[in-house]
Structure 1
Amino acid sequence: MAMDPSRPPKERVYLLLDGRHRESWLSLGTNLFIMALIVLNVATFIAGTVSWIGARYGQLFAAFDVFAVGVFTVEYLLRVWSCTVDERYSSPIRGRIRFMLSPYALIDLIAIFPFYLPIVLGEQGAERMLRIFRLFRLLKIARYSNSLTLITNVFRRKSEELLITVLVMSIWLVFVSSLMYYVERAAQPEVFSSIPAAIWWGIVTLTTVGYGDVVPVTPVGRALGATVALLGIALFALPAGIVASGFVEELERRRQGPQYCPHCGEEVDDLIDEPPKSHVHDELEQKQ
């Protein structure tokens, strides 16, 4: 389906960049192009860290990076310009500021901003930051991927349970690390020099990673360490179970399709989990 040319330019740009408007070949092609550009841009960055590849194709990779940043910059500016079509961001100034502070818009900005830092900080001051922040461009693909959107929804819906679990884990970590500090500090004053130093042992033990760089040597310390390791298996399995159940619920929700309130027409999940979403996409679709 082609996009209706009678629409105002701002609406056409909005729908062109909207990943949900997949009925239009132009919108679908645009989103696939940006996705491919993101993947290639990150791939060239990773390949460039290999010495012989970087020496041979460094200039080509740099030119491609300039091209990619140019596309991402135009995309970001067009999104900011056209966001007022969405009723959530309808205010010309406040709406655009609100849109620019949304998670996806911040990711888009982080993906391109370091490229322009040399203008402000100079080449040497911005070079390292530029290299690191190029990896953030990979996060842009979440906007165009249903799989990553599913993951985002799972963590959003299970955020309260995960937050409680993280809080319990943090309390337990500080407790056992403090206990181990007092048990082992006399035998290993350099290793267990402070509670923050013991927290590293607690993280490695509770996660059952076991690097072996910090270990208890006293009988009481070893008994405590064994107990903490066994409890860590159960404690750190809780977030995995919560996320797994969230995936099952989200997949089941997608199979059943959206549930709508008979009174207001809003999606039931949206009314429960978050503020009402804009219907601009559906309204624009109905105009076709």
Structure 2
Amino acid sequence: MSRRRSKAEQRPDGPPWRVTMHDVIFESDTPAGWVFDVGLLLAILTSVTLVAVETIPSVAERNWLILGRFEWFLTVLFTIEYGARLACAKHPLRYAVSFWGVIDLLSVLPTYVGFFFVESDANSFVILRSIRLLRAFRVLKLWRMMDDAEELSQAIWKARHKIIVFLIVVLVAVTISGTLMYFVENVIPRMTRGESPLDDSEFVASQFDSIPQAMYWAIVTMTTVGYGDIVPKTTIGKFISATLILLGYSLIIVPSGFVTAELTSKKSAEPAAETKCPRCTSAEHHDDAVYCYRCGERLAADG
């Protein structure tokens, strides 16, 4: 019940229309809130698609006017949404400077900046398109619509110490394997030929010309990406490469195991929900749910 009270405390005071607007915009348990979220999702996906399409020169030149009209329509739509969120927020200024408030502002600001502050000559046209690319920030608005995003982020945060240890192990493996490959592929062959390993004036046949370059190869190999721009030539180097690939396959699933364990332990520790909907008698609700997820009926405050 503590989480529900904290959620109820976020509802604004004042006229009923502010409370209703808050429930529609900030909650997704009601039918109206679900429709709002779906409409916002479609608008965000459409906007990000337009940003990507505008980077195709042939399409942008032929359809610039149509793309511009669509963009202004979406900008006005997101501006109305931003104003509505400020109007129904309990603390408008606090919301405006919050993470999501800044993201909402960034989703509309580039279009207005390009319209009012960029002149319409050939050179400023490039600047205008560069500014408008900042509209890709709108994709971050999708994160707010994910109900399980908070649960996933909490699981990652609880497993942060294990993940940090894992990253340290990976860094050690990359450093050791990169250093070994540098010696095996560069230093030893050059010493065998009587050349200086650190003399850049002499011909270097190996692609592993430095330890950072070899560490880059180790990261690409361990993650099983395998660009192929740097490859070992010696037999020992190929053996190290094969070992690193097998090690990468073994380690790549470790972080997901940490997060899965945290999610599983959280689910097993949660008590069974007892709050029932007075209309449809459904009892599978989150602790902080205000409305029934099935019929949209307001849940009893006492649970």
1:6-85 alignment, distance < 5 Å? 7-20=15-28, 22-23=29-30, 25-49=31-55, 53-83=59-89, 85=90
CA 1:107–1:167 in structure 2 vs 1: closer, same or farther (change >3 Å)?
farther
- Structure 1, unmatched stretches of 5+, are 1-5, 260-276
For residues 68-119 of structure 1, what are the alpha-carbon distances to aligned partners after superposition, in whole Å with 9 as ceiling and x for unaligned? 1222233234334543x2xxxx5x75x34xx6233x3343334333334434
- Measured in 1, the distance between the counterparts of 2:85 and 2:158 equals 27
1:86-165 alignment, distance < 5 Å? 90=91, 93=93, 95-96=94-95, 100-102=97-99, 104-118=100-114, 119-120=116-117, 123-131=125-133, 133-146=134-147, 148=149, 151-165=152-166
Tell me how many residue pairs correspond in the alignment: 250
Which residue in the other structure is 2:245 paired with? 229
For residues 29-81 of structure 1, what are the alpha-carbon distances to aligned partners after superposition, in whole Å with 9 as ceiling and x for unaligned? 32222122112222333445556654554322221111112222332343345
- Measured in 2, the distance between the counterparts of 1:257 and 1:286 equals 13
- Structure 2, unmatched stretches of 5+, are 1-13, 119-123, 190-203, 276-286, 292-297
**1:143–1:149 contact (8 Å) kept in structure 2:** no
Identity percentage of aligned residues: 24
RMSD over equivalenced CA pairs, Å: 3.8
**2:217 equivalent to 1:201:** yes
Q: How far does residue 238 in structure 1 lie from its aligned partner after superposition?
A: 0.9
- Measured in 2, the distance between the counterparts of 1:258 and 1:242 equals 30
Q: How far does residue 244 in structure 1 lie from its aligned partner after superposition?
A: 4.0
**1:80–1:100 contact (8 Å) kept in structure 2:** no
Calculate the TM-score normalised by the size of structure 2: 0.65
**2:185–2:206 contact (8 Å) kept in structure 1:** no
1:185 match: secondary structure: helix
Q: How far does residue 215 in structure 1 lie from its aligned partner after superposition?
A: 1.3
Higher radius of gyration, 1 or 2: 2
1:79 match: secondary structure: helix
Q: How far does residue 207 in structure 1 lie from its aligned partner after superposition?
A: 0.7
Q: How far does residue 217 in structure 1 lie from its aligned partner after superposition?
A: 1.6
- Measured in 2, the distance between the counterparts of 1:159 and 1:72 equals 35
- Measured in 2, the distance between the counterparts of 1:129 and 1:170 equals 37
CA 1:108–1:252 in structure 2 vs 1: closer, same or farther (change >3 Å)?
farther
**1:107–1:136 contact (8 Å) kept in structure 2:** yes
- Measured in 2, the distance between the counterparts of 1:213 and 1:114 equals 38
Which residue in the other structure is 2:229 paired with? 213
Higher relative contact order (CA 8 A, sep 6+): 2
